[in-house]
Chains A and B, each alone.
Chain A
């Protein structure tokens, strides 16, 4: 069940017109736009670079959430899942996992490359990739709760972004802090990274449950 849903979500995401490519392009676009706002000063960009990559990844992770459960709710797949007696939690987790592999993982891989544009040092690139690898699943999982809450609503995507953004504040904070901890010496690295891990694991445990309950209640 879990693997099947994950695989299907992944295939849908990678297919032409899926959210994977668009999410990646959006990530690139946000990173490109920021120097136009703050100016082409490479020193400044190198300093704020990790934060820029993290914010861009956060915004990109909100994209495509609208279709995560919306299509299944409309065409009755969700009813079938519930009737089949399979645990709805696994279904929600599978959707989130597939979505992360399709959209989150490419961003993790692309982030160091885009770091070149922002004059990041190799160490900083590695740090961004590592913290995004740990943190972006948490972003996707928290996002899946928002997607479940707004499934079946017209313009649900925008609403779910508004609902999810405040909840992702801790992930962003510890992700960026751990990144800077890895780059500059006096600031702690391990403790924010561990807190980031705990946020990811905590959302792994709780988010699918909340999403499953929301999906079930929204169908009653």
Chain B
């Protein structure tokens, strides 16, 4: 296993990820096969919620990964700003759409789960609301990244917003919970954390591992694409410079 410092070299990262990637994908597929089988056929139906409880096996891992992805981006943002790690910015930029996708998946599955449980597609529950805010923050970050021509500058600016968001997300979570308890009685059915039965816990853990493997595979794939995209961009700039022609992007700067 190469260390993080060694992987700072994009070429070394490309070689490493090319070797690891097929195994990660295979692991993700295998874990999903086991996890989906366990959660759809082996795990028992809930005595209150029936089969709709099985949405949990998609919903909870997606939600955990959505938050985990933000944490990863926060660490990467520190890496960009403090250590100027060249791959940190690539990782954060590639992780943002994945985080948005997992947040969206969490919101949609939560909504589908909520329809039979609450009788509505959406309730302004504290968790749902703070996840919606998280989703908007992901979209804003993606928009910020895409707004700059120069990926290095975009990376530094976005890293600051990621860190500002890291301070803000717990405050948002706290304030939304406060707001929620005052505005509506907490009468919402939810699966109690530790009181979950082992027959449901193991499929959930397998699905969580499957989602994590999927996330890692997708992250490696998108990071590789991002590195190649930057190389193409750099090569184009060099070609344009050597020909003495102003490219469209050079004019826009």
Q: Are the C-beta atoms of A217 and B160 separated by less than 8 Å?
A: yes
Set B144, B153, B167: member contacting A206, Cβ < 8 A: B167
Per-position binary interface string of chain B over residues 129-165, scored 1 when its CB falls under 8 Å from any chain A CB and 0 otherwise: 0000100110111011001100001001100110111
- On whether A220 and B179 interact (CB within 8 A), knowing A166-B136, A210-B164, the answer reads no
A150 to chain B, nearest CB (A): 7
Q: Are the C-beta atoms of A167 and B168 separated by less than 8 Å?
A: yes
A105 interface residue per 8 A CB criterion: no
Set A167, A199, A213: member contacting B160, Cβ < 8 A: A213
| Chain B contact residues: helix, strand, loop or mixed | helix
Size of the chain A interface, CB-CB below 8 angstroms: 27
B182 interface residue per 8 A CB criterion: yes
B162 to chain A, nearest CB (A): 11
C-alpha gap A156/B165 in the complex (Å): 19
Q: Which of B169-177, B216-224, B238-246 interfaces with chain A?
A: B169-177
A59 interface residue per 8 A CB criterion: no
Q: Are the C-beta atoms of A166 and B160 separated by less than 8 Å?
A: no
Q: Are the C-beta atoms of A166 and B176 separated by less than 8 Å?
A: no
B135 to chain A, nearest CB (A): 9
Q: Are the C-beta atoms of B161 and A149 separated by less than 8 Å?
A: yes
Q: Are the C-beta atoms of B160 and A169 separated by less than 8 Å?
A: no
- Extra contacts, 18 of them, besides A163-B140, A170-B168, A173-B176 (Cβ < 8 A), are A145-B161, A149-B160, A159-B143, A162-B136, A162-B139, A163-B143, A163-B144, A167-B172, A169-B133, A187-B182, A195-B178, A206-B167, A210-B164, A213-B160, A217-B153, A217-B157, A217-B160, A220-B153
Q: Are the C-beta atoms of B140 and A173 separated by less than 8 Å?
A: no
Q: Are the C-beta atoms of B179 and A214 separated by less than 8 Å?
A: no
Set B148, B165, B174: member contacting A153, Cβ < 8 A: B148
B157 to chain A, nearest CB (A): 5
Q: Which 6 A-B pairs have the closest CB atoms?
A: A170-B175, A217-B156, A163-B140, A173-B175, A173-B179, A166-B136
Q: Which B residues lie within 8 Å of A169 (CB)?
A: 133, 172, 175-176
A174 interface residue per 8 A CB criterion: yes
C-alpha gap A145/B144 in the complex (Å): 13
Q: Are the C-beta atoms of B171 and A170 separated by less than 8 Å?
A: yes
Output the residue of A149, A166, A210 with the most chain B CB within 10 A: A166
What are 25 A-B pairs with beta-carbon distances under 8 A?
A145-B161, A150-B144, A150-B147, A156-B147, A163-B140, A166-B136, A167-B137, A167-B164, A167-B165, A167-B168, A169-B172, A170-B168, A170-B174, A174-B178, A177-B182, A206-B167, A210-B163, A213-B160, A214-B157, A214-B160, A217-B153, A217-B156, A217-B157, A217-B160, A218-B157
